[in-house]
Amino acid sequence: MTDIEKLKEAELMQLTEEEEEEIYDLESLVTDGANARFPVKFKYPKQEPDGSLRMVNAGALIRPLTNVEWNNCVRMKRTPNSKTSNEVELLKKALYNTNGEQMNPKVVESLPNGVALELVKLVSEISGVDYDENLKMAKEMMGFSV
């Protein structure tokens, strides 16, 4: 004969285990996150010897940016003639080559716009920033219809 009480207890234990979420230590997450490097693959335009253009796979490493780093990159006081952008400044902080070395700022400044935008979206995702929402707010603040 089956013991109903034991079955009830086992089922309750199973439900309780399924509902529990693992909680991580915030300090460990912050420390690990600042040092994390994530491999990314993206398309990059390459000109062939015959002059044609084709998209090739490229790879790099990115890291999440802290709140202070992100805000410093996007709120820098720049002159109207400045030769940089929020995206370039974000990538200067977050983009690494596949050997784990920070990307040369001149290389970052030379990225095609579409590639830079795609990389910034990836950086924003791992940094916990909704890039599309931030872009929408910035356009609204500048008086553009969205």
Residue 126, domain member (yes or no): yes
Residue 11, domain member (yes or no): no
Does this model's pTM top 0.95? My answer is no
> Regarding predicted confidence, which is higher, 146 or 78?
78
Report the pLDDT averaged over residues 61-74.
90
40 touches 60 (CB < 8 A): yes
What is the pLDDT at residue 44? 94
Residue 45, H or E segment: strand 38-47
5 — pLDDT class (breaks 50, 70, 90): confident
87 touches 71 (CB < 8 A): no
Tell me the average pLDDT of the chain: 82
Residue 15, H or E segment: helix 4-19
Residue 25, domain member (yes or no): no
The segment with the largest mean pLDDT, out of 21-25, 37-41, 82-86, is: 37-41
What is the pLDDT at residue 61? 94
20 — pLDDT class (breaks 50, 70, 90): low
Alpha-carbon gap, residue 33 to 107, rounded angstroms: 25
Region for 100 from its dihedrals, namely left if φ exceeds 0, alpha if ψ lies in -120 to 50, beta otherwise: left
Whether the pLDDT of residue 89 is over 80: the answer is: yes
142 touches 134 (CB < 8 A): no
Q: What is the separation, in whole angstroms, between the first and last Cα of the chain? A: 69
What is the pLDDT at residue 17? 60
Identity of the amino acid at 41: K
Residue 2, domain member (yes or no): no
What total of structural domains would you count in the chain? 1
Residue 15, domain member (yes or no): no
49 — pLDDT class (breaks 50, 70, 90): very high
Whether the pLDDT of residue 3 is over 80: the answer is: no
Task: Please write the tens of the pLDDT for every residue from 97-130.
Answer: 999 999 999 999 999 999 999 999 999 998 888 8
Residue 129 structural domain: 38-141
